[in-house]
A and B are shown apart, each in its own frame.
Chain A
Amino acid sequence: MLRVTCPWCGAREQVEFSCHGEAGIARPADCSSLDDRGWGEYVFFKENAKGITLERWEHIHGCRRWFIALRDNVTDCFLGFSKPGEDFPQVPSSYRQALSCASIPMPRSAGGYGKNDKKVVLKR
């Protein structure tokens, strides 16, 4: 079973936690001017990136507080945790070195470069 380190309670089993998906999704600043397409993008669409991702977790059967986890969803390794408001956790250099042998993309938010980052996002 995976072990998750709650920044307040320490390492516990994964079943104590609830994963709430991608971190760092900001509510659109100017909601009143948002059209259906904008709302759809905000509410439903996700990066769902393969590789190292930042996620929001909640210690739902513990202290019930939320935190940020940095995790590689290909190996299921947790790489770091932070409390809300703190800086996002960084990928440990040892893991980064191990990854340089493999071809697992890293998102920009985690300080890495996805292989698609060079691409210009198409305008809808």
Chain B
Amino acid sequence: MSFYSLWSLLRHSCTGHGNWSRAWRSPSLRSSYDIIIVGGGGHGLASAYYLAEEFGVRNVAVIEKGWLGGGNTGRNTTIVRSGYLQDASALMYQHGLELFSRLSSKLNFNVMFSARGVLQLAHSVHDLQEQSRRAGACRLNGIDIELLSVDRVKDMLPEINLHGRFPVMGAAYQSDAGNARHDGVAWGYARAADRLGVDIIQNCEVRDMLIRDGKIEGLVTSLGDVRCGRVGVVASGHSSVLAAMGGFRLPMTSVALQALVSEPIKPVLDKVVMSNGVHVYLSQSDKGELVIGAGADQYSSYSQRGSFASMDEILSPLVELFPYISGLRMLRQWGGVVDITPDRSPILSRTPVEGLYFNCGWGTGGFKATAGSGHVFASSLAGDEMHPIAAPFSLDRFYSGLVIDEGSAAGVAH
């Protein structure tokens, strides 16, 4: 496994780039591991990487039903920000943002994190008041959210139409937030974990759990049985299916969330723009495509297809906000199965089965937390004790009532 550097680039350019080694191995499943991570998306691969890199557990496997990053990691709108209202969420998402900002050099892989700034538009007096409250809460937690006047919004986004059906009245702005290349994050973590000896097994479906006396002993997979000490399930929309194998339920509904990209155009937008009010999120990728996030469907689904109604609902306000979009054709549209919890906050928790941990419930906004979630989950798995940042996100909150309500705080747009 070669180290990526200017020197390696020069050396391989002499041989026509024909001799690059594979970024990670394709090992066969061994009969036992200390810890198995179920789910080879960003969060799962990050968990495996931090287990090996920081917490000294190298006898680790990541088991993935499909291909790496083929679920919601490859299906989101790549926004990384941390402006959440509740203290527990602020700590979690800020932890992720800080890790993201140094991730490329840490992984020796360019995840193309770009702190270009994220604007959340306000369309009403209520929006302005809510943003002011959230900005205050964020600043108390060390997250710098700035409130912008309408003029500053226009300066930053010259193409915006301020006087639509829902006029723009201001915005909350986080300057150190931005976006990253989603596939790059999965591949970077996979390559770095693989270098540390983690076995990444693709096309391997978990079919059942081997549980004895309330303790997990192993997994039944499509490639055979495997024994293990602990299991961390990071399966987003399919978490309830895996929980059923363990004999318990989760507070979760799986729904389809979709996004779409336009044909590539010249640089026109150098910020990430979100609006909870008219339900828009928009950014421009480095390829020039406009990346557009739509809303979640209002009914449960495992189909990985979004409804036409949701697509229509996002494009109408978007065309009003940015009229130039009306002339663009949309290139691709896709859906992902997201795991929505009642309080719109994730679940990082022990389960009724000893040794079985779940990291799920990231719903419509998990990409931004990939690094932070992986880090605190790895710490929890390695030490058999929930990391302080992860502890408030336990399943117990649905019994005690100490829920972390981000439903109203983050609104629909994550």
* Contact yes or no, A44 B398, CB < 8 A: yes
* Contact yes or no, B247 A50, CB < 8 A: no
Q: What is the interface residue range for chain B against chain A?
A: 20 to 34
Q: Which chain A positions have C-beta within 8 A of B299?
A: 14, 19, 55, 71
In the assembled complex, the CB of A2 is this many whole angstroms from the nearest CB of chain B, namely 7
The answer, yes or no, to whether B77 is at the interface (CB within 8 Å) is no
Residue of B nearest to A120 (CB): B247
The answer, yes or no, to whether A5 is at the interface (CB within 8 Å) is no
The answer, yes or no, to whether A119 is at the interface (CB within 8 Å) is yes
Q: Which chain B positions have C-beta within 8 A of A50?
A: 238, 240-241, 254, 302
Q: Which chain B positions have C-beta within 8 A of A121?
A: 247-248
CA distance A37 to B398 in the complex (A): 8
Q: Which chain A positions have C-beta within 8 A of B307?
A: 1-2, 14
Q: With contacts A1-B309, A2-B307, A36-B399 known, is A49 near B301, CB below 8 A?
A: no
CA distance A18 to B252 in the complex (A): 18
* Contact yes or no, A15 B300, CB < 8 A: no
* Contact yes or no, B244 A114, CB < 8 A: yes
* Contact yes or no, A44 B251, CB < 8 A: yes
In the assembled complex, the CB of A41 is this many whole angstroms from the nearest CB of chain B, namely 8
* Contact yes or no, A46 B249, CB < 8 A: yes
The answer, yes or no, to whether B298 is at the interface (CB within 8 Å) is yes
The interface residues of chain A, by DSSP majority, are classed as: loop
CA distance A15 to B295 in the complex (A): 14
* Contact yes or no, B298 A74, CB < 8 A: no
CA distance A18 to B352 in the complex (A): 33
| Cβ-neighbour of A15 out of B244, B251, B309 (below 8 A) | B309
CA distance A54 to B96 in the complex (A): 38
Residue picked from A13, A36, A71, A116, most chain B C-beta under 10 Å: A116
Interface string of B158-198 (1 = CB under 8 A from A): 00000000000000000000000000000000000000000
The answer, yes or no, to whether B303 is at the interface (CB within 8 Å) is yes
* Residues of B383-405 whose CB lies within 8 A of A: 398-401
| Cβ-neighbour of B252 out of A48, A53, A71 (below 8 A) | A48
* Contact yes or no, A122 B303, CB < 8 A: no
* Residues of B291-338 whose CB lies within 8 A of A: 298-303, 305, 307-309
In the assembled complex, the CB of A79 is this many whole angstroms from the nearest CB of chain B, namely 14
* Contact yes or no, B401 A48, CB < 8 A: no
Residue of A nearest to B399 (CB): A40
The answer, yes or no, to whether B157 is at the interface (CB within 8 Å) is no
Q: Which chain B positions have C-beta within 8 A of A18?
A: 298
In the assembled complex, the CB of A1 is this many whole angstroms from the nearest CB of chain B, namely 5
- Other A-B contacts than A40-B251, A48-B252, A75-B303, 8 sampled, CB-CB below 8 A, are A21-B253, A40-B399, A45-B398, A46-B249, A46-B251, A48-B240, A48-B253, A76-B303
Q: Which residues of B contact A (CB under 8 A)?
A: 211, 214, 238, 240-241, 244-254, 298-303, 305, 307-309, 342, 352-353, 398-401
A-B contact pairs, 7 of them (CB 8 A): A2-B307, A44-B251, A48-B249, A48-B254, A49-B241, A76-B301, A116-B247
